[in-house]
Amino acid sequence: MPVKIDHCVIHVGDWARSAAFYRDVIGAEVVRRGVGFAFRFGDTQLNCHGPGVNAVPLARVPVVPGNSDLCFEWPGPIIEAAAHLARCGVPVELGPVPRNGAKGPGASVYFRDPDGSLMEFISYAG
């Protein structure tokens, strides 16, 4: 049986701002963890380091706010993802553009989270 990613870690600078963004723009379930949150997408989770969190152990070079690059699969056509971002007031930096992801060829749009990390929606729907 192959392994799969269970969770990754990002660093956030402002808990409330990040929770609203990942909930409203990305569609995450916000899971309270101590002073902060984790963001859950089905059976995959983004754990968050941020103000008030003393994470142990830390990576050799800890992730800093704005230093992540994450891609999320959008369930419909990529043009719908771009329209969703516009409704949320999130500027698209690039796209739609052709890209290859975990499922092969797709189309992507790129944008930033509140800390400046690069986000991507990829769609495999025609």
Q: What's the predicted TM-score (pTM) here?
A: 0.92
**Residue 60: inside a domain, yes or no?**
no
pLDDT band at 35 (very low <50, low <70, confident <90, very high): confident
Residues 6+ apart with CB under 8 A from 57: none
**Residue 57: inside a domain, yes or no?**
no
For the chain, how big is the Rg over CA atoms in Å? Answer: 15
pLDDT band at 54 (very low <50, low <70, confident <90, very high): confident
Task: Return the percentage of the chain with pLDDT > 90, whole number.
Answer: 80
Q: What pLDDT score was predicted for residue 125?
A: 93
- Dihedral-angle region of residue 60 (phi above 0 means left; psi in -120 to 50 means alpha; beta otherwise): alpha
Write out the residue range of the structural domain in which residue 103 sits.
7-51+66-123
Distance CA 73, CA 106 (A): 10
CATH number at residue 94: 3.10.180.10
Span 55-98, pLDDT tens digits: 888 777 778 888 999 999 999 999 999 999 999 999 999 999 99
Burial of residue 94 (number of CB atoms within 10 Å: 0-12, 13-18, 19+)? exposed
Distance CA 62, CA 11 (A): 9
